[in-house]
C-alpha cells in the first residue's frame, strides 16, 4: 500500500511494517542508512536518491527502529535481524539480486547479507562502514559514545544532537537548523525514545564481522568510501575490510567526515554510478 502522507510505500514482511521509497527504473540499488539519532532513509540519502534514480531502481527503506517503520525487538541480534528484514522486503518486491549501498550501520548490514546470502548481492558500496576494526585509533570513538548515550541520562535534546551530528561532518557550518530539527523530530518519536534501536539488548553487542573468515571468500566487487576525517568510524577501520575482501577498492575523501554521500554528494554520485554501471 502507499502512505500518501509520507510519500513512501509500506510493506508488511514477517509482521513488520517497513516504510520505503521505490523510485526509478533499471538495475536495483538498495540504500541502507546509518544508526544515528533521527536517521531515516531519506535523511541519509537526500542528496543521492534522485540522481541514482536516473539509471537505477532505487529502494531506500527506513530500517525497523527508525523513521516510520516498526520497531526492532530488543532481543534482535545486530546486524543479523536487520539483514533478514531487508531480504524479506526484497522477496516481497520480487527482487532476487541487487546492488547495495550502505552507510555506517547500513554497511554492516550489507556485509552480513553478503556473507549469509552472497547470491542476493551484486556490487557493494560501503561508506564509513561498521563491521571492521580499528587498527590505530581508539574505539569506541566519542561519536559512537554520543550515539549510544543519546537517549540515556537526561534524555534526548537539541544540544546532544548538535554535538553528535557535529562529529559526523568535517564542516559543521554546513548543518542547517532545518536539518537538525528534522533529525530531532524523528529522534523524539515516543516509540524510539522508549526503545532506542542501538541500545544493547538481550542479543548483546553488534557482531564483529571482521572476524568472519568468509570475508576472504566474498566474490563481490566492493567499493569502500571513507572520509579521511571520520570521527565516528575512523578511516583505519576500513583497512581490515579492504585487506580481507578480495575484490575490494578503497577510496578516501579528504575534508570529509562520516557522511561521504552528503558532504561530497556530487563526487559520490558520479563515482557510485560509474562503479555500479561498470
Best CA proximity match to 126, nearest among 264, 262, 244, 242: 242
Each residue's pLDDT tens digit in the chain (278 positions)? 444 444 589 999 999 999 999 999 999 999 999 998 899 999 999 999 999 999 999 999 999 999 999 999 988 999 999 999 999 999 999 999 999 999 999 999 999 999 999 999 999 999 999 999 988 888 888 888 888 788 888 888 888 888 888 888 999 888 898 988 999 999 999 999 988 887 766 656 789 999 999 999 999 999 999 999 999 999 999 999 999 999 999 999 999 999 999 999 999 999 999 999 98
Q: What SS3 class is residue 111?
A: helix
Give me the catalytic one of 33, 99, 220, 258. 258
CA distance 77 to 59: 23
* CB-based contact 220:211 (threshold 8 Å): no
For residue 59, how far is the Cα from the chain centroid? Answer: 13
Q: Which residues of 228-256 are buried (b: 16+ CB within 10 A; e: fewer)?
A: ebbbbbbbbbbbbbeebbeebebbebeeb
Q: Known catalytic residue: 117?
A: no
* CB-based contact 3:149 (threshold 8 Å): no
> What is the span of the domain harbouring residue 271?
2-277
Give me the number of domains the chain comprises: 1
Residues 115, 120, 124, 126, Cα dihedral to 10°: -60
For residue 52, how far is the Cα from the chain centroid? Answer: 16
pTM for the full predicted model:
0.94
DSSP codes joined into one string, 156-174: --HHHHHHHHHTT-S-GGG
Q: Are strands 2-3 and 248-253 parallel, antiparallel or unpaired?
A: unpaired
Q: What is the CATH number of the domain that holds 266?
A: 3.40.50.1820
Amino acid at each position: 500500500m502507499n502512505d500518501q502522507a509520507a510519500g513512501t510505500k509500506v510493506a508488511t514482511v514477517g509482521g513488520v511494517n517497513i516504510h520505503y521509497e521505490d523510485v526509478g527504473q533499471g538495475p536495483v540499488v538498495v540504500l541502507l542508512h546509518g544508526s544515528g539519532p533521527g536517521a531515516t532513509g531519506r535523511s541519509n540519502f537526500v542528496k543521492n536518491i534522485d540522481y541514482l534514480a536516473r539509471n537505477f531502481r532505487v529502494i531506500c527503506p527506513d530500517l525497523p527502529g527508525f523513521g516510520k517503520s516498526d520497531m526492532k525487538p530488543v532481543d534482535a541480534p545486530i546486524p543479523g535481524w536487520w539483514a533478514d528484514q531487508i531480504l524479506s522486503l526484497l522477496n516481497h518486491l520480487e527482487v532476487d539480486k541487487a546492488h547495495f549501498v550502505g552507510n555506517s550501520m547500513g554497511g554492516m548490514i550489507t556485509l552480513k547479507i553478503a556473507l549469509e546470502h552472497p547470491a542476493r548481492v551484486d556490487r557493494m558500496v560501503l561508506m564509513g562502514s561498521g563491521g571492521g576494526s580499528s587498527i590505530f585509533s581508539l574505539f569506541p570513538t566519542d561519536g559512537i559514545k554520543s550515539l549510544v548515550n543519546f537517549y540515556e541520562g537526561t534524555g534526548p535534546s537539541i544540544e546532544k544532537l548538535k554535538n553528535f551530528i557535529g562529529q559526523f561532518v568535517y564542516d559543521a557550518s554546513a548543518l542547517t537548523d532545518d536539518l537538525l530539527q528534522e533529525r530531532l523530530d524523528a529522534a523524539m518519536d515516543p516509540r524510539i525514545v522508549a526503545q532506542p534501536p542501538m541500545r544493547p539488548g538481550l542479543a548483546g553487542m553488534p557482531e564483529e564481522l571482521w572476524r568472519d573468515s568468509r570475508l576472504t571468500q566474498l566474490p563481490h566487487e566492493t567499493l569502500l568510501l571513507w572520509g579521511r576525517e571520520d570521527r565516528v568510524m575512523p578511516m583505519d577501520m576500513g583497512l581490515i575490510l579492504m585487506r580481507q575482501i578480495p575484490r575490494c577498492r578503497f577510496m578516501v575523501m579528504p575534508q570529509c567526515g562520516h557522511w561521504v554521500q552528503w558532504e561530497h554528494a556530487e563526487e559520490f554520485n558520479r563515482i557510485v554510478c560509474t562503479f555500479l554501471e561498470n
